[in-house]
Structure 1
């Protein structure tokens, strides 16, 4: 029998994320105020305060864990929690690397993003566990809303890239027969 990501585990993980994000928001509040991130770094455009992450991040965490569980419990699924954990960890490491480069003004973010786009041709990096790792890893630096929005767009692009490659492979196979 496969290991499941049952509801109690999803709730515990979501509660841990809730405590972490609200702890971070409280820290920010006590140490100079809750940061606001402006669209395109332009203060004339609307700002998104980090406290929105305290509301949205626990919900998106639970939702993504639910989606992962739905995929695991399919009878034909070959997914394991170990694979999913490694995917989550790679998304988290990617986000933390981007965050550190951004905070330290290291100019390799474009190269890292290019590498990720190349990886999208080979790996299904649009999956929920990659996205969850990205959102949790980038939330400390960018708040939660910006990584969720940007990550959603990236996942859509990665989904199209990955399935387009699969479609082209199947076309080439059918032409070869």
Structure 2
């Protein structure tokens, strides 16, 4: 991809993410005001306004597109799983988790632990997963809390998979398979 095309694509996708968060904020503003959400849903803890999404979501989108472009430029072979597919899966998962949470479903606990299980085998530290998850959950919890939670899941995923890879390489080298 030509450098100008890459920047243009990055700019357009960032504008699309900005439009999505602006639409959410406009809807909230016209329906009782822009919401704030308490950390851990505890009123004793500070509340975070959804207005922060105007900063977070475009920055996350810009970063995500840049990371995907760099990964594609470094790749020797085509990826097994498209970044767009990863984004859409994370968007759907975030929307499902939000809907379950909003309706007070007991299934939300299983969906949460399912996300931890997914983190063991899927590279959830890739930015497209975080962006999709944040946008999927934004309509219920705003973008900030899912970004914080998603960042912890991404860190967990990276740590577990990096440790597993290190152990695997160590075992292979001891057996002379490397």
TM-score of the two chains, using structure 2 as the length reference: 0.88
1:26–1:16 CA distance, 2 compared to 1 (3 A): same
How far did residue 155 of structure 1 move? 0.5
1:45–1:11 CA distance, 2 compared to 1 (3 A): same
Output aligned runs, 1:107-118, within 5 Å: 107-118=106-117
Aligned twin of 2:28:
28
- Which secondary structure does the structure 1 equivalent of 2:121 belong to? coil
| 2:140 matches 1:144 | no
Cα distance in 2 for residues equivalent to 1:138 and 1:160: 24
1:151–1:12 CA distance, 2 compared to 1 (3 A): same
Farther off after superposition, 92-101 or 5-14: 5-14
Shift >4 Å, 4+ stretches: none
Aligned twin of 2:42:
42
How far did residue 150 of structure 1 move? 1.1
Aligned twin of 1:98:
97
For structure 2, the 5+ residue unaligned runs are: none
Q: Deviations along 1:90-146, whole A, 9 cap, x unmatched?
A: 111111111111011111222223223223332222211111111111111111111
Cα distance in 2 for residues equivalent to 1:5 and 1:48: 36
How far did residue 43 of structure 1 move? 2.3
- Which secondary structure does the structure 2 equivalent of 1:120 belong to? helix
Whether the aligned pair in 1 keeps the contact of 2:53 and 2:142 (CA below 8 Å) is: yes
Cα distance in 1 for residues equivalent to 2:107 and 2:75: 42
Cα distance in 2 for residues equivalent to 1:77 and 1:55: 35
- Which secondary structure does the structure 2 equivalent of 1:6 belong to? helix
Structural RMSD (CA): 2.2
Aligned twin of 1:60:
60
